Amino acid sequence: MLKWIWLSVVVVILDLATKAIASDQLILHQPVAMFPGFNFTLMHNSGAAFSFLSDASGWQRWFFTIVALGVSVGIVVWLKGLARNQRWTAVALALILGGALGNVWDRITLGYVVDFIQVYYDRWYWPAFNIADSAISVGAVTLIIDAFRTAQDEKKQASEKV
């Protein structure tokens, strides 16, 4: 199932391209309203999801890089071991891998992750994110749904044997 690595490559390319455009066209922390509830706002996140540990002294850059690279190796091994019929698991893992590598690139080259998508309602703002974060989220949800679907299929097959 390593054939799904192409999807990871597409995610990395889209992620890096959109981050480059955002970095070139946007001013740090100045929202550009696209439509109600959606802004483009350039932000630099030196932490993890939701800016976790962004105020740390700098060690978090390398910690999150090492963790993401370790997870990426694990995902490639997992992908390699999948059966042909585990297509949704492969897609989910490829999305997560592409997102992880997109953000790792930023951490290594910039020291922070470029975020630029901002969603809000009234005065409630979701933390800014990027294409890599979106791919990781979609991949994680797909992986969870696939796990439930697989468990239900196995339960159904077990009951049919009885």
Which comes out higher in pLDDT, residue 50 or 139? 139
Q: Which of 15, 106, 133, 146 is catalytic?
A: 133
**Do the domain assignments include residue 121?**
yes
Question: pLDDT (tens digit, 9 = 90+) per residue, 102-153?
Answer: 999 999 999 999 999 999 999 999 999 999 999 999 999 999 999 998 877 7
Overall number of domains in the chain:
1
**Do the domain assignments include residue 75?**
yes
**Do the domain assignments include residue 150?**
yes
For the question of residue 133 being annotated catalytic, the response is yes
What Rg, from alpha-carbon coordinates, does the chain have? Answer: 18
For the question of residue 24 being annotated catalytic, the response is no
pTM, full prediction: 0.89
**Do the domain assignments include residue 51?**
yes
Q: Which residues of 74-103 are buried (b: 16+ CB within 10 A; e: fewer)?
A: ebbebbeeeeeebeebbbbbbbbbbbbbbb
How does the average pLDDT of the chain come out, rounded? 91
Q: Which of 15, 106, 115, 146 is catalytic?
A: 115
Q: Is 121 exposed, middle or buried (0-12, 13-18, 19+ CB in 10 A)?
A: exposed
**Do the domain assignments include residue 161?**
no
**Do the domain assignments include residue 120?**
yes
| Mean per-residue pLDDT, 94-108 | 97
**Do the domain assignments include residue 9?**
yes
Q: How many helices (H) and strands (E) does the chain have?
A: 4, 4
Residues 6+ apart with CB under 8 A from 126: 118, 119, 120
Domain range for 109 is 2-156
pLDDT range class, residue 1, cuts 50, 70, 90? confident
